[in-house]
Amino acid sequence: MTELYKNYINGEWVEGNSVTVNINPSDTNDIIGNYTRATKAQTEEAITSAKHAFASWSRTTPQERYEILKKASDEILARKDELGRLLSREEGKTLPEGIGEATRAGQIFAFFAGEALRLNGEMVPSIRPGVGIEITREAVGVIGMITPWNFPIAIPAWKIAPALAYGNTIVFKPADLVPGCGWALVDILARAGLPKGVLNLVMGRGSEVGQTILDHKDVNAITFTGSVGTGRKVAEAAIRSMPIKKIQLEMGGKNPLIVLDDADLKIAVESAVNGAFFSTGQRCTASSRLIVSDGIHDAFVAALTDRLKGLSVDNALKAGTNIGPVVDQNQLDQDLSYIGIGQKEGARLVWGGELLNRETPGFYLQPALFTEVSNTMRIAREEIFGPVGVIIRVKDYDEALSVANDTEFGLSAGICTTSLKYASHFKRNSEAGMVMVNLPTAGVDYHVPFGGRKGSSYGSREQGTYAKEFFTIVKTAYTFAG
Ligand code: NAD
């Protein structure tokens, strides 16, 4: 019988009145479980319980918060293989990628366990005699968390860990498509000793559960990762509410990876394969525009196509698979539709783009590579979110930089070059939040800030010590001591 996974509200596991059937995209006959959807009333109850829990949780000592976060980290790391397997089974990234993501979640909890102890303030002399000023940081309150399906454990971890470390309480809604990892994370934290109401899990649809969180007056802040369209709804709801909610939005990308004539060809091809196609291209930081200069263009296309031909697209759990399936039928339809659009726009499909049959029924797509793409085509401007690479040919670095920055987005950007001059110039002049030299645009460390500019992000950075900008609020206290 299929197991039923419940929501976690005010310290209790509770059933809703409908379920999400969590299906393995590598094998659609494999059902991971039924995940209860929270009702509107249950979501409101979760928010109220987070509000009540805030008074005491925000006053716990850093040591108490450290211990719970460290305990969670220890369990995640001890179970990384099993959690990674669950992740790959529900989302479709390969097992090494799934285990890597689970490991990262464990590392994030260890990092923020330490951050709970490191939060400090400032003492500043006043311009008035006898007056002292203290600048301190306090918890914000109830944080609503809304996450996407493509990093089902790392993104919840990098939102939940800092929120708890700094004394906030949480109402967390994972993506409806992949609730399994979010559920497992909440189960670990519940057993790590969190008092009731501090962390609430409400699974379900964005339009129901998500919208209830956005509209509720007792949610003080919302941290959201997902598409631009939904991000805009979050922002609109935040502005409408009184008091206006604090928000942090991480959204789409159309990340350029420049390959210059002087690049190390092997590094450039590996950066492109990893950045554009690994994790089935389903990364906000994917290298979805490959901008290649004239002199290396043909050699790069030949080497990249060869490399793609050697990749195994198969069941995410199978040893040797390089690229797993697309996450579901909707995303597959979107990918295929963009492949058709690219062909109609006049780009040349030099490899892939066709559906594949494997031993198990799943959403298998041969990674697609387009050449002769212009930066005005839709496949170069819109986020496809699949294993589709586009190559834009340019004459030199100056044109490459201008094409790289000619986008609504600004999450990550990369350059492959052996020239210090171009690498340095690009780091200064790229309009992205994260810049990579001789590395894929995807793949970041967990202890430094993550986030973009322009249409990709809104609000303060996530991760690293910068996370406190969102998860704390500053207080300035003046004292006259006579
Ligand atoms: P999505 O916007 O469809 O959904 C994201 C979350 O919002 C889900 O939990 C969904 O249920 C919820 N939601 C949907 N409608 C809602 C509403 N009306 N009110 C409240 N919540 C609602 O995005 P997705 O398809 O899950 O994820 C893919 C997108 O996420 C891509 O655009 C990708 O670039 C982006 N992404 C960005 C980053 C980043 O850090 N910049 C990281 C990963 C993914």
What is the CA angle 105-109-111, rounded to 5? 115
The answer to whether residue 284 is catalytic is yes
- The verdict on the CB of residue 171 being under 6 Å from ligand 1 is no
- Average pLDDT score over residue span 118-147: 97
Sheet strand arrangement including 142-146? 12-14, 7-9, 199-201, 169-173, 142-146, 221-225, 246-250, 457-458
Q: pLDDT value at position 1?
A: 81
The CATH code for residues 4-251+456-480 is: 3.40.605.10
Residue 376 binned pLDDT confidence (cut-offs 50, 70, 90) = very high
CB neighbour list of residue 59: distance below 8 Å, 6 or more residues apart: 167
> What pTM, to 2 d.p., does this model score?
0.97
Q: How far is 64 from 62, CA to CA, in rounded Å?
A: 5
With the most atoms of ligand 1 within 8 angstroms of its CB, the residue from 93, 145, 150 to mutate is: 150
**What's the topology of domain 256-437?**
Aldehyde Dehydrogenase; Chain A, domain 2 (3.40.309)
Q: What is the mean pLDDT of the chain?
A: 98
Residue range(s) of every CATH 3.40.309.10 domain in the chain: 256-437
Q: pLDDT value at position 481?
A: 85
The answer to whether residue 44 is catalytic is no
Q: Cβ(149)–Cβ(175) under 8 Å?
A: yes
Residue 313 has pLDDT above 90, yes or no: yes
Question: DSSP per residue over 26-85, as a string?
Answer: T-TT-EEEEEEEPPHHHHHHHHHHHHHHHHHHTTS-HHHHHHHHHHHHHHHHHTHHHHHH
- The verdict on the CB of residue 288 being under 6 Å from ligand 1 is no
For residue 33, list its beta bridge partners: 22
Residue range(s) of every CATH 3.40.605.10 domain in the chain: 4-251+456-480
Q: Which residue's entry shows tokens 């409806």?
A: 176
Per annotation, catalytic residue among 101, 115, 284, 462: 284
Q: To 10 degrees, the CA torsion angle through 458, 276, 109, 217?
A: 30
Cα(148) to ligand 1 centroid in Å equals 4
Q: pLDDT value at position 245?
A: 98
Q: What are the tens digits of pLDDT across the range 338-351?
A: 999 999 999 999 99
Name the residue with the closest Cα to ligand 1, atom 12: 206
Q: What are the tens digits of pLDDT across the range 434-447?
A: 999 999 999 999 99
CB neighbour list of residue 402: distance below 8 Å, 6 or more residues apart: none
Q: How far is 461 from 83, CA to CA, in rounded Å?
A: 27
Q: What are the tens digits of pLDDT across the range 454-463?
A: 999 999 999 9
Cα(225) to ligand 1 centroid in Å equals 5
Residue 129 has pLDDT above 90, yes or no: yes
Task: Give percent of the chain with pLDDT exceeding 90.
Answer: 99
**Burial of residue 207 (number of CB atoms within 10 Å: 0-12, 13-18, 19+):** exposed
Q: pLDDT value at position 482?
A: 79
Q: Which two tokens stand for residue 259?
A: 């390959």
Q: What are the tens digits of pLDDT across the range 260-292?
A: 999 999 999 999 999 999 999 999 999 999 999
Residue 6 has pLDDT above 90, yes or no: yes
- Average pLDDT score over residue span 144-164: 98
